[in-house]
Amino acid sequence: MAADPRVQPRGSRLRAHIALTKPRIIELLLVTAVPTMFLAAQGLPTLQTTVAVLVGGALSAGGANTLNSVYDRDIDALMHRTEARPAAVGSISVRAGVIQGIVLSLLSAVILAWLTNWLAAALSLVAVLMYVLGYTMLLKRRTSQNIVWGGAAGCMPVLIAWSAVTGGLSATPLVLFLIVFFWTPPHYWPLAMKYRDDYANAGVPMLPVVRTDLQVTASIIWYSWVMVAVSLSLVWVAPMGWVYAITAFVVGVVFIAMAYRLRGAAKREDPNINATAMRLFHWSITYLSLLFLAVAIDPFIG
C-alpha cells in the first residue's frame, strides 16, 4: 500500500521532495551551462549572471523533473531502477508534486528575467514544456525515438546560459546545443540496453526494447560520429583554441572506440554485453564533462 504523505516525518518528507527533482540529472545539466557562460563572456561572467543561471537552471530542471516523476509514477513503479522514487511509492502526493513542479519552473523564469533577461527566462520555460509535454507526455510511451527528440530539452541549458550572458543567440550556442543533442542517444541507449526488461515490462518502447543489439549499436555509432564531427566544427564556428581542439579530438576518438567495442560485443552476442554498455554509458558522462571543461578553459588560454 502506498505511504500516506501526511504521516511522514518532516525530514523524510523533505528528502522525498528533493529526490523528486532528480538532483543527479540537474548536476549534469549544469556541467554544460557553466562552461557555456565562460565561452559567451570570453572569460568570467558577472557574479549576478552566474548565480542566476545556476539557481534558475537548477530550479528549471528540478521543476521539469518533478513533473516528469509525477506523470511517470505508474511506469516507474513497474521498473526496478525507478520503483523507489517518491511519486512511485506514494510518499509525495500527486497534488503536492504538481504544485512543486509548477512553482519551481515559474520561479526559475522569474529569477532569470529579474537577474538576466527575458530571453533566458523564456528559454527556461520552453525547456520545461519540451521535457514535460514533448518528451514525458507525448513521446516517451509512443515511439522508440523518444530519447532523440525528447532529449532536446536537455540541450536547452547551453542556450539559456548563452542568452543570459549575451542577451541573444548565435551560431556558437547552436553548435553547443547540437553537441548535447547528438550526445544524448549514445549516452542513454547503453543504459536502456541494460534495463530493457524494465522498459519492456512498463510498456516503454525504448530503442533496445524494439530493436536488436546490432541495430541499437549501429545507431549508437552513427550518433557518435555525428556528435564528434559537430564538436570539432566548434573550432571554426566559435572559434576555439588548441585546448578545446585537442580535447575534442582525443575524447571523441575514445568515445567512438568504445562505441565500436560495444558493436563488437553485439556481433559476438557477448553475454556480458550489458557490462560493456555500461562502460560506454559512464564514459559518455566523462566525455561531456571533459569536453565542456575544455570549453570553459579555452577562453582563458586561447
Domain check: are 184 and 101 in the same one?
no
Domain check: are 120 and 248 in the same one?
no
Query: Does the residue 2 lie in any domain?
Result: no
Measured CA to CA, the distance from residue 31 to residue 297 in angstroms comes to 13
CATH number at residue 155: 1.10.357.140
Query: Does the residue 46 lie in any domain?
Result: yes
SS3 150: helix
Domain check: are 175 and 301 in the same one?
yes
Measured CA to CA, the distance from residue 241 to residue 231 in angstroms comes to 13
Q: Which one of 141, 167, 193 terminates a domain?
A: 167
Q: Which one of 142, 167, 192 terminates a domain?
A: 167
Query: Does the residue 253 lie in any domain?
Result: yes
Query: Does the residue 6 lie in any domain?
Result: no
What pLDDT, on the 0 to 100 scale, is given for residue 1? Answer: 42
CATH number at residue 228: 1.20.120.1780
Domain span at residue 278 reads: 170-302
What pLDDT, on the 0 to 100 scale, is given for residue 6? Answer: 47
Largest CA distance in the chain: 59
Measured CA to CA, the distance from residue 218 to residue 224 in angstroms comes to 10
Query: Does the residue 1 lie in any domain?
Result: no
**Into how many domains does the chain fold?**
2
pTM for the whole thing? 0.93
What pLDDT, on the 0 to 100 scale, is given for residue 113? Answer: 97
Query: Does the residue 9 lie in any domain?
Result: no
Q: Which of 67, 166, 5 is nearest to 174 (CA)?
A: 166
Domain check: are 120 and 225 in the same one?
no
Domain check: are 265 and 148 in the same one?
no
Domain check: are 27 and 161 in the same one?
yes
Give, for all 302 residues of the chain, the pLDDT tens digit: 444 444 455 668 889 999 999 998 888 888 999 999 999 999 999 999 999 999 999 999 999 999 999 999 999 999 998 999 999 999 999 999 999 999 999 999 999 999 999 999 999 999 999 999 999 999 999 999 999 988 899 999 999 999 999 999 999 999 999 999 999 999 999 999 999 999 999 999 999 999 999 999 999 999 999 999 999 999 999 999 999 999 999 999 999 999 999 999 999 999 999 999 999 999 999 999 999 999 999 999 86
As given in the structure block, the three cell numbers for residue 119 are: 530571453
What pLDDT, on the 0 to 100 scale, is given for residue 7? Answer: 47
Q: Which one of 100, 134, 167 terminates a domain?
A: 167
Domain check: are 21 and 70 in the same one?
yes
What's the Cα-to-Cα distance from 173 to each of 73, 137, 160, 235, rounded to whole Å? 34, 27, 9, 13
Domain check: are 159 and 180 in the same one?
no
Query: Does the residue 7 lie in any domain?
Result: no
Domain check: are 55 and 122 in the same one?
yes
Burial class (CB in 10 A: 0-12, 13-18, 19+), 259: buried
Domain check: are 176 and 299 in the same one?
yes
Domain check: are 120 and 185 in the same one?
no
Instruction: Decide: 300 and 240 in contact? Cβ < 8 Å.
Output: no
Measured CA to CA, the distance from residue 79 to residue 4 in angstroms comes to 22
Query: Does the residue 292 lie in any domain?
Result: yes
Residue at grid coordinates 557477448: 270
Domain check: are 83 and 223 in the same one?
no
